[in-house]
């Protein structure tokens, strides 16, 4: 006989999924708004696993946020993160795994360049004792890149491919 979830269990699952998605969107908005304190609060404290490929690999949120500040928190950097197509790979009462696609654009008004990336996050989340969801593991895989130079009369593509240039 098929086991069915109670209405309360189904409602809790929907609330947890929404809270996880809102956390991810909060993180992406905090990146665009250059808010390192809010970026920090989206992740678990202590030992975590962040692997953002060409950006770096980090075992705590503070080291990641230090790099974020050095790379992205400048007036001449204009970033746009757009999450899409979220899939829940696993969801329990206290943990979750997701795959969320990302379209990213970074305009560097100082270097006159634009980088456009496509890829996906594989994230893990933990629910704290007070019921808050936080990111405990995050990796980003690039699968589409276009880098343009707009320093001359016309914009020109200087690189395109399925990974970041070396």
**pLDDT, tens digit, for every residue of 125-146?**
999 999 999 999 999 999 999 9
Please return the burial class of 9, using the count of CB atoms within 10 Å of its CB with bins 0-12, 13-18 and 19+.
Answer: exposed
Instruction: Specify the fold of 7-161.
Output: Nuclear Transport Factor 2; Chain: A, (3.10.450)
pTM for this predicted structure: 0.94
Tens of pLDDT, residue by residue over 77-116, are 999 999 999 999 999 999 999 999 999 999 999 999 999 9
Does residue 2 have a pLDDT over 90?
no
Alpha-helix residue ranges (DSSP H) falling in the chain: 7-32, 36-41, 61-72
Does residue 162 have a pLDDT over 70?
yes
Res 166: pLDDT: 84
Does residue 1 have a pLDDT over 70?
no
What mean pLDDT do residues 17-24 have? 98
Task: Give the start-to-end residue ranges of the domains of the chain.
Answer: 7-161
């Amino acid at each position: 006989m098929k086991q069915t979830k109670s209405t309360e269990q189904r409602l809790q699952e929907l609330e947890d999924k929404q809270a996880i998605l809102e956390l991810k969107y909060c993180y992406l908005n905090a990146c665009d708004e250059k808010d390192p304190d809010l970026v920090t609060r989206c992740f678990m404290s202590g030992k975590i696993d962040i692997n953002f490929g060409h950006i770096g690999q980090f075992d705590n949120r503070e080291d990641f946020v230090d790099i974020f500040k050095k790379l992205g928190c400048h007036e001449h950097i204009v970033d746009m993160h757009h999450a899409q197509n979220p899939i829940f790979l696993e969801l329990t009462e206290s943990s979750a795994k997701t795959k969320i696609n990302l379209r990213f654009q970074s305009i560097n008004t100082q270097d006159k360049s634009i980088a456009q990336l496509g890829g996906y996050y594989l994230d893990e989340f933990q629910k704290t004792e007070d019921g808050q969801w936080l990111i405990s593991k995050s990796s980003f895989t690039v699968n589409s890149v276009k880098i343009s130079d707009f320093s001359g009369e016309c914009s020109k593509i200087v690189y395109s491919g399925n990974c970041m240039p070396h």
